[in-house]
Amino acid sequence: MTGSPRLPPAAGAILRGDRRALARAISAIEDGDPSAGPILRALFPRTRGVPVIGFAGPLGVGKSSVINQLVHQLRSIGRSVAIVAVDPSSPFSGGSVLGDRIRFESRADDAGVYFRSMASRGAAGGVAAATREAARLLDAAGFDVVLVETVGSGQVDVAIREIATTRVIVLVPHLGDEVQTLKAGLFEIADVFCVNKSDLPGADLARRDLSELVASGPRDAGWKPRIVTTSTTAPSGIADLWSAIEAHEAYLDSSKSRQDGERHRLAIEIVGLVRDRVGRDLTVRLERDPALRRLLDEVLARKIDPRTAAERLEPLSRRGA
């Protein structure tokens, strides 16, 4: 497989560990720049399917702090690691909310650590799709593990379902409202619960609440979410967290789940790409194609409603294709 004659130079550079080529390619993905396409295409066969560990949870619970500690842990056992911080660049989320959010330690001297933040400026399919493609480049570039932090909660958190092989939900003692959030969606995506800030009171109680939630979950599931307690101030529990993550990764391998999960994520990705492309084409044609323009005129004149127009648009657009 080596020495493929048509490997684009940027792809070759990424395989050789060139950080600047990697950074440029990720920016191209982020910007929706078509130059990313040939690089992704060339590198896809070189990806190994490394673990992608997603971290989600409410604002300020210590996701970045935990990841920083995990990076130390991974380096101490000789694993290289890439960290992707997903920031949807939404005005409703982001760094200024808490003021004191932790930044990832820059480790420019360590070739085994790479940090990158991702926004969704022009990326096809949004920030989740861009993050997935970036993780793939990081895999091809040789990193052993990819850690993904989603900033904020809601839609982007749920997006880790479509990217990560193991999902860690980070919480703090005094779950209260958070348990409600969990019930509303995060709970069903958790493979590992990390109760962080265990130096604060209430960690044991939080752990017990979570155990009850886990116990009341689906009986026949092959994997019961693990619960670990961590602190990053006087670091503790980080090795346990990594063990829980590795246990889940091992479970994926021992069951058919890794392949099934990958199949499912690939299906979502491919459908998303088609939807994106068809959507873009249709938007252009709706404005230019006379038959499609007439349809839009009818909606404007309140003769038909948008749903009816969508139903008619499908066959009309196919006829013109």
Question: Binding to ligand GTP (CB under 6 A): which residues in 164-203?
Answer: 196-197, 199-200
Told to check if 198 binds Mg ion by CB under 5 A, we report no
Q: Is 318 helix (H, G, I), strand (E, B) or coil?
A: helix
Phi, psi of 2 (to 5 degrees): -75, 160
Which position among 37, 60, 112, 154 is part of the footprint of ligand GTP (CB under 6 A)?
A: 60
Distance CA 65, CA 103 (A): 8
Q: Which residue is closest to ligand GTP by CB? A: 62
Helices (DSSP H) in 19-91: which residue ranges? 19-31, 36-43, 63-76
Max CA separation in the chain (angstroms):
67
Q: Which residue is closest to Mg ion by CB? A: 64
Question: Binding to ligand GTP (CB under 6 A): which residues in 125-164?
Answer: 151
Q: Which does 4 bind (CB under 5 to 8 A by kind): Mg ion, ligand GTP, none?
A: none
Q: Which does 231 bind (CB under 5 to 8 A by kind): ligand GTP, Mg ion, none?
A: ligand GTP
Told to check if 65 binds Mg ion by CB under 5 A, we report no
**Complete DSSP assignment for 207-230:** HHHHHHHHHTS-TT-S-PPEEEE-
**Which residue stretch of 70-78, 98-106, 244-252, 305-313 sits at the interface with ligand GTP (rule: CB under 6 A)?**
98-106
Q: Which does 65 bind (CB under 5 to 8 A by kind): ligand GTP, Mg ion, none?
A: ligand GTP
Closest of 85, 86, 8, 82 to residue 46, by C-alpha:
8
Told to check if 150 binds Mg ion by CB under 5 A, we report no
- Cβ atoms of residues 228 and 191 within 8 Å: no
Residue with token string 């479509």: 162
By the criterion CB under 6 A, which residues form the site for ligand GTP?
A: 59-65, 98, 100-102, 151, 196-197, 199-200, 231-233
